[in-house]
Homo-oligomer: A and B are copies of this chain.
Amino acid sequence: MRFKKHLLTAAIGLTLSFSSHASELETLINMLHENGMVTDEQYGRLMNELAENKASNEQQKAELDEKLADATKPSDVEISTNGGLTLKTRDGQFSTKVGGRLQVDAATYGGSPDMGDGTDIRRARLYLAGTLYRDWGYKLEYEFDNDSITDAFITYNGFENYQIMAGNFKDPFSLDYMISANNTMFMERALPTAFNAGRHIGVMGARNSKHWTLAAALMGDTVNDTRDADDRDEDEGWGWSTRGTLAPINEAGKVVHLGLGFNYRDLQPNNEVRFSQASETSVSSVRIVDTDDLANADTMLKSGLEFATVMGPFTAQAEYIRASVERDNISDADFDGWYLQSSYLLTGESRPYKNGVFGGIKPNRRVGDGGIGAWEVAMRYSSLDLNDGAIEGGEADSMTLGLNWYPVPMLRFSANYVHVLDVDGGTFDGQEPDVFQVRSQWAF
């Protein structure tokens, strides 16, 4: 459709060329008249006919031009797909996107404890998102695997570089968690994602620019009301969250990222909190470390430090997160964790970076187009300490090796091997499970 606009020019060319024979004919008639070959009366008739026809031609051509111009107006709506469906109005006022994702896992476990080999639909989501009247945005995404609403919000984007958001969305906290699960380096996020802040219903203001971002949110409770039948008449929990990132270097293939985040929660109504974590796998539901419910919990503050860098095909990413729980009449509890992960894209791609998070890998040369897609090897060390004083949730360290294959954009196949180095304390004290797992994914 994008070539239609040329027709207007073409139509003008058409008009010009129409007049040309008339000019030669007029020259000839004038000559013949000069030479006395046609009489004055005949000359007058010819000139008259010429003028009449010229006028009638010009009018018809003007109409034609106008109609052609109308006819060749580009269509108001563009529609496209590279997975799902995207629709945009050419004036930029509206857009609609239907998209989704599917992640299918299989895992086998070694060592102890027994974890239960098997398969799992890890994520299966569809969403409808779009733009209304240029400045307004909306999204509704549903996770079919556990029947829950994920992103469900309305945004105002009328102030350049700023975004105001209301609805259900991720608290801005932790690089690992902010990166879409479609685009994480490994199949599962690192152990310290036990401290991710999750999604809540609330409002957020965010500023995104090339070299820094800042987001601050005031959040209520989760979509699924966490109040029991007993405490229905008590106020829901609430919190605030803020994350700032700095990217002193941000070019294609060359990024340095620093981040700092805080997340606060008032733990009403049930005044409980629980941290636990699986061995970076999700087919098994065994949690290798687990604080169990911490009662009398009043408030919780999480703080996190982020570092990441991209140097061509190489990416490194690290975080340290600490969670402090203030408890009534009992000593406070502090837990922490960190990870360092890095990857190398054997086929030369670079991990894209924008607005303080990493995006997904697009292969330079895709399968079916003479290429082998993108291949990435990755390594991670992560550590999570859920022991504090009398609370013995356990401490775990794990090493992970990963291999990702992106045959074409939108598709990803991953294989991960996780070795838990040692669990120290908790139910699984001293145990060292192994995980081998694979994933097939489409996402757009």
**Chain A residues near B (Cβ < 8 Å):** 1, 3-4, 6-7, 9-10, 13-14, 16-18, 20-25, 27-29, 31-32, 35, 37-39, 42, 45-46, 49-50, 53, 56-57, 60-61, 63-64, 67-68, 70-73, 75-77, 79-85, 87, 89, 94-96, 98, 100, 102, 104, 106, 113-121, 124, 126, 128, 130, 132-136, 138, 140, 142, 144-145, 147, 149, 152-154, 158, 166-168, 200-202, 220-221, 223, 225, 227, 231-236, 269, 284-286, 366-369, 407-411, 440-442
Contact = CB atoms under 8 A, between A and B. Distances in A.
A73 to B, nearest CB: 6
Nearest to A166: B440
A227 B27 CA distance: 97
Given A149-B144, A442-B132, A201 B121 contact: yes
Contact of A102 (B3, B140, B369): B140
Contact of A104 (B79, B166, B368): B166
A27 B45 contact: yes
A32 to B, nearest CB: 7
13 contacts: A16-B60, A20-B57, A83-B94, A102-B154, A114-B233, A118-B236, A119-B201, A119-B220, A121-B167, A138-B442, A147-B147, A154-B411, A232-B285
B286 A232 contact: yes
A49 B67 contact: no
B28 A25 contact: yes
Given A17-B61, A144-B140, A96 B83 contact: yes
Given A95-B81, A126-B128, A17 B121 contact: no
A132 B82 contact: yes
Main secondary structure of the interface of A (DSSP, over half): mixed
Contacts of A10: 63-64, 67-68, 71
Contact of A79 (B77, B147, B442): B77
A436 to B, nearest CB: 14
Given A10-B64, A85-B96, A124-B142, 12 more contacts: A13-B64, A17-B60, A24-B49, A32-B32, A83-B138, A102-B138, A116-B234, A116-B236, A119-B236, A124-B140, A136-B407, A140-B144
A279 to B, nearest CB: 12
A408 to B, nearest CB: 4
Copies assembled: 3
A32 B27 contact: no
Given A100-B140, A104-B167, A132-B410, A28 B7 contact: no
A98 B100 contact: no
Contacts of A37: 32, 35, 37
A3 B128 contact: no
B39 A24 contact: no
A422 B203 CA distance: 34
A6 to B, nearest CB: 4
Contact of A71 (B3, B42, B81, B145): B3
A369 B166 CA distance: 23
Contacts of A46: 24, 27-28, 31
Nearest to A11: B64
B118 A235 contact: yes
Contact of A81 (B49, B89, B126, B153): B89
Contacts of A84: 96, 128, 130
A68 B7 contact: yes
A266 to B, nearest CB: 11
- Chain B CB count within 10 A is highest, among A9, A16, A24, A232, for A24
